[in-house]
Each structure stands twice: as structure tokens, then as C-alpha cells.
Amino acid sequence: MTSDGGTIDGGTTDGGTTDGGTADGGTADGEAASVMRLRPPRHRVSRRAIWYWTVRAAVGWLVPLAAQVVWLLSDLSNPAPHVLWLVVTVLVAAVHVVVMPQWRFRVHRWETTAEAVYTQAGWLNQSRRIAPVSRIQTVDTARGPIEQLFGLTNVTVTTASAAGPLKIDGLDHETAQRLVDELTTTTQAHPGDAT
């Protein structure tokens, strides 16, 4: 069970079907759909990712704001342009820190089925990807110091794709561990050359 009430394995608790079919297009007796379609994934990342993205954005704005304060204090003979730029920077920073994390939370999604991994990410530039399980080469996790404070983990699924790995950022640590375990088991059960 994920933090949003869904299951990792394509179950039906948050938008799957209940008429004998499964969320991945197969039937209840295990028959898989012959065609994987690029579609919106079902699961959201952890709500704690909003706070993580907020803190990261706020820290990123500290350097330009500090530079502008130093610039203002170094030239007090004509403070008007410095104050104007400082106010503009504060306004842009405030909008970025408030809007970006909420927007990213609404966009970032992920899902795994027995056949594929689906991801959707971005906030201005959005991308949606699908990778067949048979093409998975490695599954890794990463947690930076700030992510550890928020109990978040990032999962990277490396495939034999020129587009690079699929990344699922902002999962709660327990969900990420279950996802890695499940993908490892599923990948080992699927024959394929992963190239």
C-alpha cells in the first residue's frame, strides 16, 4: 500500500478497475495486454515532497538575495535601484517558493505494473515515460541530507534506453524500499536481455 492509498503492484484501490480487469490492461486471470500505452501514472509522490521542494527552493534563493543586500549596503548613495531589484527578487522568489512545490506535487506521478514502469515529472517542462520491465538493468535509491530529514528517497530505474534512466523523486522511504524490492523481484522473473 502506498502513502496515497494505492498499491505498488497495479492493484485497484485508487483508480484501477473492479470488473475483472486490472489497472495495467490485463485480465484478472493474469493475461497481460499486448500493447503498453504511454498514459498518466496513478500514484502521487509523498506529500512531504512539497516541504522538501519548498525548503530546497528557499535555500536556492538565499544566495541572490544576500548578493543584492550586499550590493545595496555597498552603495548607499543611490539606494533606489538596489531596493527596486531587491523587491523584485523577493517577489519572484516568493512566487517560486509557494507555487513550484505545489505544482510539482500535482504533476509528479509514478506506477509499476508487472510489465512496465511509468513516470511523469517536471513542473514547467513535463515528461512522461514508460519502460518495459524486461529492459530494466538496475534499480537504485538515493537520499541526500535534506531528503533524509523529510523521510524521502529517490528511486532511479536504469534501462537500456538512450533517453536515460527513469527517476521517481520524493517517495517516502518505506514505499521506495518496497518499490525497489518489487522491481528487483519482477525484473528477475522476466526474461530479457535488458539491452
Digit-coded pLDDT (tens) for 16-56: 333 333 344 443 344 444 467 888 899 999 999 999 999 99
122, 147, 171: which is closest to 52 by C-alpha?
A: 147
For the chain, what is the total number of helices (H) and then of strands (E)? 4, 7
Whose grid coordinates read 549596503?
A: 73
Q: Which amino acid is at 104?
A: R
Q: 133: which DSSP letter?
A: G
The arithmetic mean of pLDDT across residues 137-150, rounded, is 95
Residue 130: all three cell numbers together: 514508460
Q: Was domain 109-189 assigned CATH 2.30.29.30? A: yes
Residues 6+ away with beta carbon under 8 Å from 36: 25, 115, 116, 130, 132
Contact 68, 40 (CB under 8 A): no
- Report residue 161's pLDDT band, with 50, 70 and 90 as the boundaries: confident
Residue 114: all three cell numbers together: 508487472
